[in-house]
Amino acid sequence: MSSLYGPTVASTLHHIEDLIESSPDADRVMQYLTDFFSRHPDLWDEIADDARRSRWLATIFGYSHFLSEELLRHPEWISSVTAFERPLGLSEYHERLEEFVKARGVSTPGAEDLALFRRRELLRIVLRDVLRAGTLAEITEELSELADAILSCALKHTIAELEERYGRPEVRDASGNVTRASFAVLALGKLGGCELNYSSDIDLMFLYSENGQTAGPQSISNKEFFKKVANHLTNLLSTYTAAGLCYRVDLRLRPEGTLGEVCISLAAAQDYYSKRARDWELQMLIKARVAAGDEALAQALLDFVEPFIYSTTLDFSTIEAMSATRERMSEKLARKRLKKDGLDVKLARGGIRDIEFLVQCLQRLHGAREPWLRHGGTFFALSRLHDKDRLAETEYGRLAEAYEFLRDLEHRLQF
């Protein structure tokens, strides 16, 4: 190896040479190491003599092109990897984001700040993933906690900025008492199930408490105010910057889909789900949870829709109808895939989406009588279905093994 890349790099990094040679792409690892130390020679001795950080560098350079490029631009990130042996919780991500924003010298984080913070934190999570310092369930939950922290921060600053202009959104009751109107961000899909992957869209729904007016000099209706909050928040998260974007935000799962309001009141949401929601929309809410904002407001909607999701009148005919719809969608996707090379681990027959659909069907069939089965995460739901004898040992083993393998493969493809 030293004859190929020069004796200096090879001799200085001799203690990780075996790791380099066993990496997915040894040539690429050595090229990135050479580039890294050429750009940042002051870090040469510091990192080369640190077996742990040397291993982290070699791991990232071998597995992730986009994080390798980030490390070339931000070499200090390799020293920001802390608490490697355990997952970080939501409060810790809040603290890390606050410190990151402060260090960048801004009072209100912009789209680039949030995107850059996310990339820095992905470095640590990818390392924990590749080096098996955490289980797959821990990794997906940590990715979700990171997203929640970013959402909460972005929402807090968005509301503060808009209140400066329009005033506080308020509700006045029949007795003249004034209270503050509230706003919540509901997470759906993989984020809702706390099983986010590295590059998935985040499926969101925006909810506000009641109609009313803001109390500022430029008074507007609460509906208009919270619509501005929703749009501003979406743009903040999904705007492309020099650091890329933070998240692709998908709002199509909201009531009425793309034809519906971007933000809906609690009363309007309750009316929709009790009268007009299609069955798949109710099933989708199995994964719904509050990600940011007023928890009590979000929980009021979740408590309201739960009897519709887990109805005691639900039977196999409903599941069969949904399965038929799912089959038609799968056939349509299969025809599209004929024009493309490769296998879609998410949407292909027997893939990630099929396992999730099966689990949700079983949850709906048995969840009314067995509330313990009600859980948004597929990993947990599979385990609980098995514990309640709704899945035989063999069925559970095959499904759990297949789901973990496919999700792990999906992650490797996204690095």
pLDDT tens per residue across span 30-81: 899 999 999 999 988 888 778 889 889 999 999 999 999 999 999 999 988 9
DSSP string of 120-147? Answer: HHHHHHHHHHHTTSS-HHHHHHHHHHHH
Residue 34 placed within a domain: yes
Closest CA to 71 of 59, 82, 83: 59
296 confidence band (pLDDT: 50, 70, 90): very high
Q: Are residues 353 and 261 in the same domain?
A: no
> Across residues 155-181, what is the average pLDDT?
95
Q: Are residues 226 and 333 in the same domain?
A: no
Which residue, 48, 64, 79, sits at the end of a domain? 79
Using CA atoms, how far apart are residues 415 and 410, in angstroms rounded to an integer?
Answer: 9
> Across residues 266-282, what is the average pLDDT?
96
- pTM metric for this prediction: 0.91
Structure tokens at 105: 């010298």
Residue 13 placed within a domain: yes
Q: How far is CA 242 from CA 76, 254, 300, in A?
A: 18, 30, 40
Residue 190 placed within a domain: yes
344 confidence band (pLDDT: 50, 70, 90): confident
pLDDT for position 80: 87
Closest CA to 352 of 281, 396, 405: 405
Residue 42 placed within a domain: yes
Q: Are residues 271 and 195 in the same domain?
A: yes
Burial degree of 343 (CB within 10 A; 0-12, 13-18, 19+) = exposed
Structure tokens at 192: 């809702």
On the question of pLDDT at 13 being above 60, the answer is no
Residue 112 placed within a domain: no
Using CA atoms, how far apart are residues 369 and 88, in angstroms rounded to an integer?
Answer: 35
Residue 98 placed within a domain: no
On the question of pLDDT at 10 being above 60, the answer is no
Gyration radius of the chain's alpha carbons: 24
Q: How far is CA 272 from CA 60, 212, 229, 286, in A?
A: 47, 21, 22, 16
Amino acid 371 reads P
CATH number of the domain bearing residue 164: 3.30.460.10
What pairing do the DSSP bridges indicate for beta strands 213-214 and 202-208? Answer: unpaired
On the question of pLDDT at 125 being above 50, the answer is yes
Total number of domains in the chain: 3
Q: Are residues 288 and 185 in the same domain?
A: yes
332 confidence band (pLDDT: 50, 70, 90): low
Closest CA to 354 of 385, 393, 384, 322: 322
Amino acid 297 reads L
Residue 221 DSSP code:
B
Q: Are residues 323 and 299 in the same domain?
A: no
Tell me: the pLDDT tens digits for 347-366?
Answer: 888 899 999 999 999 999 99
Amino acid 247 reads Y
Residue 120 placed within a domain: no
Structure tokens at 293: 């904002």
CATH number of the domain bearing residue 407: 1.20.120.330
Using CA atoms, how far apart are residues 33 and 328, in angstroms rounded to an integer?
Answer: 49
Using CA atoms, how far apart are residues 144 and 376, in angstroms rounded to an integer?
Answer: 13
Q: Are residues 362 and 227 in the same domain?
A: no
Q: Are residues 32 and 144 in the same domain?
A: no
Closest CA to 293 of 192, 110, 153, 109: 153
Residue 202 placed within a domain: yes
Contacts of 214 (CB under 8 A, 6+ apart): 163, 166, 167, 168, 169, 170, 220, 221, 222, 225
Residues 4-28 as b/e (b if ≥16 CB within 10 A, e otherwise) read ebeeebbebbeebbebbeebeebeb
Q: Are residues 284 and 328 in the same domain?
A: no
Contacts of 192 (CB under 8 A, 6+ apart): 186, 203, 287, 288, 289, 291, 376
Mean residue pLDDT across the chain: 91
Domain range for 73 is: 2-79
Structure tokens at 5: 């890349």
Contact 178, 171 (CB under 8 A): yes
Which residue, 79, 99, 125, sits at the end of a domain? 79
Q: Are residues 195 and 232 in the same domain?
A: yes
| Percentage of residues of the chain with pLDDT beyond 90 | 77
Weakest-pLDDT range from 39-53, 130-144, 233-247, 337-351: 337-351
Q: What is the largest CA-CA distance in the chain?
A: 85
Count the neighbouring beta carbons within 10 Å of the beta carbon of residue 385: 24
Q: Are residues 301 and 336 in the same domain?
A: no
pLDDT for position 16: 62
Q: Are residues 406 and 280 in the same domain?
A: no
- The separation between the first and the last C-alpha atoms of the chain, rounded to the nearest angstrom, is 26
Which residue, 268, 283, 305, sits at the end of a domain? 305
On the question of pLDDT at 335 being above 70, the answer is no
Weakest-pLDDT range from 28-37, 200-209, 246-255, 311-320: 311-320
DSSP string of 241-252? Answer: BTTB-S--EE-T
On the question of pLDDT at 277 being above 70, the answer is yes
Q: Are residues 154 and 203 in the same domain?
A: yes
